[in-house]
Amino acid sequence: MGRIIIHVDMDAFYASVEIRDNPSLKGKPVIIGALPDQRGVVSTCSYEARGFGVRSGMNIKEAYRLCPEGVYIHPDFEKYKAVSEQLHAIWDSYATVSEPIAFDESFLDVTATAGDFDRAAEMAHEIKRRTREELGLTCSVGVAYCMSAAKIASEEMKPDGFFQIRTREEFVELMSGREVRELFSVGPRTAERLNDLGIVTVADIREHAKEVERAFGKHGAFLVGLADGIDDREVTPYRPEDAKSVSRELTFQEDVSDYVLIRDVILLLALSVEDRAAKYGLHGNGISVKITYSDMKTITRTRTGAPDDSAITIAKEAWKMLENLGKKPVRLIGVGVFNFGAKKVRQMTLDPEEEEVPAEEELAYFLEKMHKRYRFDFMKNREWMLRVDRLHGVAEHMRIQRMKTLSKHGRTH
């Protein structure tokens, strides 16, 4: 017997949680993300907002232009994470192996627990019922013979939907006339390249298999297989410790030309990266910096061989790389670590006159300087401020405070 895969996908997850917790929002266009007067994008939105043309990933200004009467709400990631854990606990109870894709989405291998597609369909409806009754939320569920087909099935009847694709033949019949963009792993650029070759539908991929393989190599062969309903990927449990990198980035509400502020924000990002990596025992000796300027030009720099991956080391290496980049107004700054392996032992200096300063002591020194600069106790609030939704607010406080200080001294940056 072949595999039986269930794909579960929540309906407008963040917005649905907010509506559940505040019933007065029901029926209104709810948009989760930045506020209209801020920089940022739409994280997700209710189906009412989608009726106005609002979509996930859309610039928040464009969303407001399309839907000025919408209810705009900052995301509360801690709340969504807590709900997500409850959801995955329900879903995982039906599978031998599960692969969470995000807070609100997961693949479940139910080959052994279901035994056949009829029982898998029953499980899918049980998942929908329990998600609704126990958590007050709706989800869409697809049942299929492979992962890509299960994903297609869950999207087929959204929202609050159910759909099955039992065989390759059913998949091919369903997908043949659809645009290539609907296939797994076909993003906008790949779709554009395919379209340039005259390949518009999934059926076109099958009919021009050799041309696709020539143009895309190994990925082309994979696409040809998908178009023919072949997907041998296995449901694989996600393990944070298998991550290839850990990074954190932040978009300023206004372009920043003050590189003292940028350096200070880099230290906060480094703290967040160190905290996340440490949770999973990850130790990297590669450090990256990403910077997007006001003209939207993005530059990434990396450096390997750092003696350890403490926040202060990450920040200091990032500062060095920053010195070699152009001093132009900055829109976004990001910091990351990669090249994970065994933790390196920090090499002590051989010069008896040069005293080694412990990383935590050096970090405390810099945070105290920032305390005086921004009138915020970073050390005391260290754990509190590292939450995704709070760090942006802390950075905005720093930016405004810095502007006041510079203005007081008659400087603009």
Burial of residue 92 (number of CB atoms within 10 Å: 0-12, 13-18, 19+): middle
pLDDT-derived band at 166 (thresholds 50, 70, 90) equals very high
Domain 1-164 coded CATH 3.30.70.270: yes
Q: Can you give the residue ranges of every domain in the chain?
A: 1-164, 167-237, 240-408
Residue 352's pLDDT is: 42
Question: Domain 240-408, what fold?
Answer: Dna Ligase; domain 1 (3.30.1490)
Active-site residue list: 105
Output the CA–CA distances (angstroms, integers) from residue 320 to 302, 306, 315, in the order listed. 11, 12, 9
Spatial distance between the Cα atoms of 172 and 267, rounded to a whole number of angstroms:
51
Residue 147's pLDDT is: 97
Residue 348 pLDDT more than 50? no
Spatial distance between the Cα atoms of 171 and 201, rounded to a whole number of angstroms:
14
Residue 342's pLDDT is: 59
Q: Could you read off the pLDDT of 20-74 as tens digits, one per residue?
A: 999 999 999 999 999 999 888 999 999 999 999 999 999 999 999 999 999 999 9
**308 phi/psi in degrees, rounded to 5:** -160, 180
Tell which residue, 119, 129, 90, has the closest CA to residue 106.
90
Do 359 and 343 contact (CB within 8 A), yes or no?
A: no
Domain 167-237 classification at class level: mainly alpha
